[in-house]
Amino acid sequence: MATHSDKFGYYIFTGVLALVALAIFLGFLLLPVIQGAQAGLDTWSAICRSLGIQAGSPAQPTPPVQSAAKPVSEVVWNTAVMRGLNAANKELGAQLAQDICTACHGQTGISPDPQYPHLSGQSAFAIYKQLHDYRSGVRQHDLMSPVAKTLTDEQIIALANHYATLTRGTLDRQLEVEADPRIDHLVRTGDTARGIPGCQSCHGIGAGGPVETPTLSGQYRQYLAAQLSNYAAGRRRNDVFSRMRGIASKLSEEEIRLVSGFYAEQ
């Protein structure tokens, strides 16, 4: 079979481009203008919206915003903060911890009193957020609030990093331990009927959950239970978008007790 030159290819080429031109006319001009008119939008806005250079669904007015911000946490995870947390001043952190923290939280971050949580090996992002929240007042504690208010950003970052590098255990190992069967399912999978995700879906290693997720392994059971109760009752409100309040308020007393005991023993 031989080949010859002819206009066949060019017919297809121009045919396709003609169809594209029709689509452009319909999609960027006719549709937006007619739909816009039905919705009370002017032609220019409708066309800009169809191009994506102006915000707003193509043919409907956008509801106005009439509210003021009341943030539950002032922490912003931007690049500067995240890089800062990875490059903190080690000496400053150790010194500050010695001066300010060890009285309650223990010499090596292992606290002697269940009221005060272990800090050793805790996620730096978690510690950063809590200190920041204590300082800004969205989280309240008789002892922590005044302490946090004296700290600068640099000091908070140094402290967070200091405790993160102490060893107690790593951030929640993927639990391979045979657990209390009542709790094992809740921890690993959650409860779909109540809309509760498994604890491991955020608190597990490699879970890919929120940046500020704390490690729970080896923490005092009384402290964990107290936090869950505080979330459930709304006494603690610094979890962004109610992530923990929503979960804790759905747990029974028994489940709070068992889950806290479970993580305390990890």
Partner 1 sequence: MRSLERLTLAHLWTGFVAFAIACLLGVWQMWVRSPLTAPLSTPDRYYQSVTAHGVSMAYLLTTFFVMGFGYYVAETSLARPLPGKRWAWIAYGLGLTGGLIAAIPILLNQATVLYTFYPPLTGSALFYLGLVLVVVASWIWCAQMLVAMAQWKRSHPGQAVPLAMFGTTANAVMWLWTTVGVAVEVLFLILPAAVGLTETIDVGLSRTLFSWTLHAIVYFWLIPAYIAFYTMAPEEAGGRLYSDTMGRLTFVLFLVYSLPVGMHHLFMDPEHSTGFKFLQMTLTVLVAVPTFLTVFTISASMEIAGRLRGGKGLFGWIATLPWERPMVLATGLAFFMLWFGGGGGLINMSFGMNAMVHNTSWVTAHFHLIFGGTVVIMYFAIAYTIWPKLTGWQSPNISLQRLQIWLWAIGMMVMTLPWHYLGLQGQWRRVATFDYSNPLITPWGKWVVVSLIGGVILLISAALFIYNLVAMHRQPARKASSLQRYAQSLHTPASIPASLNGFRLWNVLVLVLMILAYGYPIAQFFLNPAPAAVVHRVD
Partner 2 sequence: MPIASERDVIRSELRWGLITAATVGVIFIAILSAAFAWQMNPPSNVEFIDPKTLHLSDEFTEANLGTQVQGDAIAIRMIASQFAFLPRCVVAPRGRPVTLRLASPDVIHGILVTGTNVNTMVVPGYISQVHTTFTKTGDLLMPCHEFCGMGHSQMWATVRVVEPEAFKADAQGKVACAQP
Select 73 or 120, whichever has its Cβ closest to partner 2.
73
Q: How far is CA 133 from CA 167, 243, 245, in A?
A: 25, 16, 16
Residue 40 near which of partner 1, partner 2, none (CB within 5-8 Å, type-dependent): none
Q: Which stretch binds partner 1 (CB under 8 A): 67-75, 156-164, 196-204, 240-248?
A: 196-204
User: What DSSP letter does each residue of 185-224 carry, written as one string?
Assistant: HHHHTEETTTTEEPTHHHHSTT----TTPPP-TT--HHHH
Give which of partner 1, partner 2, none residue 180 binds (C-beta under 5 to 8 Å, depending on kind): none
Footprint on residues 137-166 left by partner 2 (CB under 8 A):
none
What is the C-alpha to C-alpha distance for residues 62 and 38, in angstroms, rounded to an integer? 15
Judged by beta carbon distances under 5 to 8 A according to partner kind, the member of partner 2, partner 1, none in contact with residue 61 is partner 2
Residues 6+ apart with CB under 8 A from 51: 28
176 near partner 1, judged by CB under 8 A: no
**What number of chain residues touch partner 1 (CB under 8 A)?**
49
What crossing angle do the helices spanning 43-51 and 31-38 adopt, rounded to 10°?
Answer: 130
By CB under 8 A, residue 87 contacts partner 1 = no
Contacting residues toward partner 2, per CB under 8 A: 26, 31, 34-35, 38-39, 49, 52-74, 76-78, 190-192, 195-198, 200-202, 204, 207-210, 240-243, 246-247
Contacting residues toward partner 1, per CB under 8 A: 1-6, 8-10, 12-13, 16-17, 19-20, 22-24, 26-28, 31-32, 49-53, 58, 77-79, 82-83, 174, 188-190, 192-193, 198, 200-201, 204, 206-209, 211
